Amino acid sequence: MTEALNPEPLLRALHEAGVRHIIIGGFAVNAHGVIRPSRDLDIVPDPDPDNLRRLAQLLADIDARHVGLGEFDHDEFPFDPTRPEDLEGGANFRLETRLGDLDVMQWVAGIDADPAYAALAANALSGELGGVPLRVCGLDDLIEMKRAAGRPRDLDDLQRLGAS
């Protein structure tokens, strides 16, 4: 994993592939005014089958590989994010790619919807980075996700977001 990620290449690739998604995690924290480094880009993709096919193809194109499989080898892990049918199952994936680390989240703690995309999209903010249009989760949703995760970094984010 990288120490700090420049998200622009991943965001540009997602945009150019036509993958609809909502940004969550550390880069959403940045979008809400708390600037801190993040090692990966966390996204929640639109679960539409055509969108997931585009995402699976992009993940294959950028050489996506699982991270953190524990005792499993990459070939032993039963789910492959480059197969649309595995993405359609609603799983979460921690991935290394040649453009940086990417977490594809379809179930998200703190969001009372499965898959989480529709709930997040309803409150998402729009913006851009380097000419790439973005959708970022709303502040209330971000706070709920951070509270549910409860890790030290999340608790720090909550305090810095003024929501502790």
Phi/psi of residue 55, each to 5°? Answer: -65, -45
For the chain, residues with pLDDT lower than 70 are: 1-2, 68-78, 164
Q: Which regions of 12-147 does DSSP assign to beta strands (E)?
A: 21-24, 40-45, 65-66, 93-96, 101-104, 125-129, 132-136
- Domains along the chain? 8-160 (3.30.460.40)
Q: Compute the distance between CA of residue 143 and CA of residue 125 in angstroms, rounded to an integer.
A: 14
Give the per-residue pLDDT at 111: 95
Give the per-residue pLDDT at 69: 55
Q: Which of left, alpha, beta for 67 (phi over 0: left; psi -120 to 50: alpha)?
A: beta
Give the per-residue pLDDT at 73: 60
